[in-house]
Every structure is written in C-alpha cells, then in structure tokens.
C-alpha cells in the first residue's frame, strides 16, 4: 500500500465527473488500498478517487456515525439518497483534504443513504442520520460528481474560502497536491 498525494483545489481532476467502474481489477483493488492508507495518513473522514487523481466512481470512508460507532468501508458506483431536511449548523464545520487546513459551515441534508457495491461485487448500503458519516457520504459523492464543498457555501463564505486558498499561495507556488506523509493539512 502507498500513501498517494492528495489533489488540491484548482487541480482539474477535482472538477471532472468520474467514470462508472465496470469491473473490479487488481489495479482498482490497489487504488482502494492506497486510498485507505492515504485517508488514514491524512486523518480524513473519507477520500474520493478524484482526490488521488483517479477518475473512477469510488470512495472510502472512515468516520463515526450518529451513534458514535466508527464505520469504515468502500463504495463503488455509489448512488446517493438524501433525507431529513437540509440543515446549516454554524457550529458544524466541514473540511476537505483537497482544501487542507480550512473549514466552513456547510448546508447538508441531515441524513444520507448510499447504495453501491464493494470490491467483491456485493451490494453495499451505508446510511446515517445526524452524524459525521451522513455528511461524509454527501461530501464524497459530490467529489465523484466533480464538485467541491466550497461550491455549496454561501456567497460570502465561498469568497472567504477562495481568499484563504489565495492567501496560502498554492496557485502562486504551482501546488496542485500535498503528501500527508510529509506534512499535515494545516501545514500545506
């Protein structure tokens, strides 16, 4: 397993829709293993394939649900269903490994359910209401659809987020990815 560099806002891979996985290959298994390793190294709640430069419709997650139970898994070709009403809690800050070191209140549905398959081709159903997992499911599927969470922010917060990205100098330094083995998200 390998920790892969994580793409940063501005990288074109993050703005592209992913391709459906038609067959689980050794290459895909290796990608998923690397994604778990990368997510763990970066202390993330989840990681979409686009965040490591792959265009496949797959994500991994490792975070607590509403009951406080750590949930960990992979979903291939996820189909998302949102429920429970859209909420914006100013105290709940959402972050992203592709916008490292930043976090903002983001409107998300209270509940989320994702259906897909695992690496063995078995059907997977992941569901949560009111926990970090519910947010992570929505967040990761957004990545697979070519959307970053900053696009869901209010106009004022979106401007603040983009100003923060500029202040960090990523574009000026030509930085399009970061390596969680070498630095933390706050150091990028």
Q: Please enumerate, by residue number, every residue annotated as part of a binding site for Fe cation.
A: 96, 139, 143
**Annotated catalytic residue 90:** no
CB 84 within 8 A of CB 120: no
Q: Is 98 exposed, middle or buried (0-12, 13-18, 19+ CB in 10 A)?
A: buried
Catalytic residue among 30, 120, 140, 187: 140
Work out the burial of residue 173: count CB atoms within 10 Å of its CB; fewer than 13 is exposed, 13-18 middle, 19 or more buried: exposed
What backbone phi and psi angles, to 5 degrees, belong to 186? -75, -20
CA dist 78 and 119 (Å) reads: 13
Please name the helix (run of DSSP H) or strand (run of DSSP E) that holds residue 126, with its range, or none. strand 123-129
Catalytic residue IDs: 140
């Amino acid at each position: 397993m390998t920790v892969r560099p994580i793409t940063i806002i501005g990288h074109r891979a993050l703005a592209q829709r992913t391709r459906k996985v038609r067959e689980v290959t050794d290459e895909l298994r290796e990608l998923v293993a690397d994604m778990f390793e990368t997510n763990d190294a970066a202390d993330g709640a989840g990681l979409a394939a686009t965040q490591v430069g792959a265009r496949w419709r797959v994500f991994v997650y490792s975070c607590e649900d509403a009951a406080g139970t750590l949930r960990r898994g992979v979903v291939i070709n996820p189909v998302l269903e949102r429920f429970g009403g859209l909420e914006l809690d100013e105290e709940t800050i959402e972050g992203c490994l592709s916008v490292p070191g930043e976090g903002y209140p983001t409107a998300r549905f209270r509940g989320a359910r994702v259906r897909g398959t695992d690496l063995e081709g078995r059907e997977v159903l992941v569901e949560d209401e009111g926990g970090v997992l519910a947010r992570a499911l929505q967040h990761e599927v957004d990545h697979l659809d070519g959307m970053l969470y900053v696009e869901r922010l209010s106009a004022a917060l979106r401007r603040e987020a983009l100003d923060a990205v500029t202040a960090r100098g990523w574009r000026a330094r030509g930085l399009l990815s970061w390596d969680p083995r070498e630095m933390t998200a706050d150091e990028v």
